[in-house]
Amino acid sequence: MMVLKEFMRDWLPPAIVRWVSLQRGGGICFEGDFTKWEQASVYCTGYDADEILAKVLNATLKVKRGEAAFERDSVNFDQIQYVWPVLTGLMWAAASNCGRLNVLDFGGALGSSYFQNRMFLKSIPELRWNVIEQEHYVKAGQAHIQDEQLRFYKTIEDCLSENQISVVLLSSVLQYLPDPYELLKQIYNIQAKTIILDRTCYLNHGEIEIIKIQHVPSSIYTADYPCRFFIEDKLCDVFNTNGYQTIAAFDSLDKLSSIASWKGHIFQLTKKKYDN
């Protein structure tokens, strides 16, 4: 397989290499066309398996110890894959808040985005990075990863009881929730000055959301779970009608299917909830 990949990189035109990669999606594939989450979840194993947590923990500890540069979805990399618009949004938020950055990272695994950007985050005078995750992730994070800057919580309420959040990060999470709009109601109530949305999948064509089953290959971890494909304009309109202005849109690193695009957005609070 590695020989084939090297041949493709060396001899095929870049456009063809990109097309093949797009079709393969790194081994990840999608199937089905469901209108309700419950219909798809019947055929799925879910994300909460102990095997997945064990792989994520092992990969994250390697990053923390300096044995790997970066971790994403339990896979280690020798070089950090920066998402520059996300990092720019974080640094911009800190600069506009007198060097203070307090992040609520919903669904942030064991701090993947924190470790991805920590070299730059070190320059911020006052930093707290708070991950909201499933209970078994929180227990593992508190036991093995947590420090003064990186913290783990089971609920948004627990996080807010100890932090005044300035930035909410939603990276590759909304599409995997049974009711993403209910979460967004909670996020809007925080009234954070900045919301950063990344690695979110939008249909290239169509006006109605669809739900598919995402199959993850065993080379990453074995799992199947529902995935929602949003309509970009409609999702952004939800943010805009809740007091947030879209100030930037960008392409994410993910290229997993030809039917959709993975993108990110940066939103700025322009009208507080109780403003007249």
Q: Other CB atoms closer than 10 Å to residue 274's CB: what's the count?
A: 6
Closest CA to 109 of 181, 162, 158, 58: 58
Where does 26-269 sit in CATH, by number?
3.40.50.150
d(CA 170, CA 217): 24
Domain boundaries, the chain: 26-269
Nearest CA-CA partner of 108 in 86, 123, 93: 86
Tokens (6 digits) for 225: 């779970």
Question: Could you give the CA distance from residue 231 to residue 214 in angstroms, rounded to a whole number?
Answer: 18
For 93-121, how does the pLDDT look when each residue is reduced to its tens digit (9 = 90+)? 999 999 999 999 999 999 999 999 999 99
Digitized pLDDT (tens) for each residue of the chain, 276 residues in all: 334 444 444 554 544 443 344 344 457 889 989 999 999 999 898 777 788 899 999 999 999 999 999 999 889 999 999 999 999 999 999 999 999 999 999 999 999 999 999 999 999 999 999 999 999 999 999 999 999 999 999 999 999 999 999 999 999 999 999 999 999 999 999 999 999 999 999 999 999 999 999 998 877 777 888 999 999 999 999 999 999 999 999 999 888 889 999 999 999 999 776 554
Q: Between the CA of residue 40 and those of 113, 226, 258, 259, what are the distances in Å? A: 29, 6, 21, 18
By three-state DSSP, how is residue 160 classified? helix
Tokens read off for 151: 């913290």
Computed over every residue of the chain, the mean pLDDT equals: 89
Cα–Cα distance for residue pair 209/87, rounded to 1 Å:
29
How far apart CA 14 and CA 30 sit, in angstroms, is 25
Of 44, 12, 3, 29, nearest to 178 by C-alpha is 44
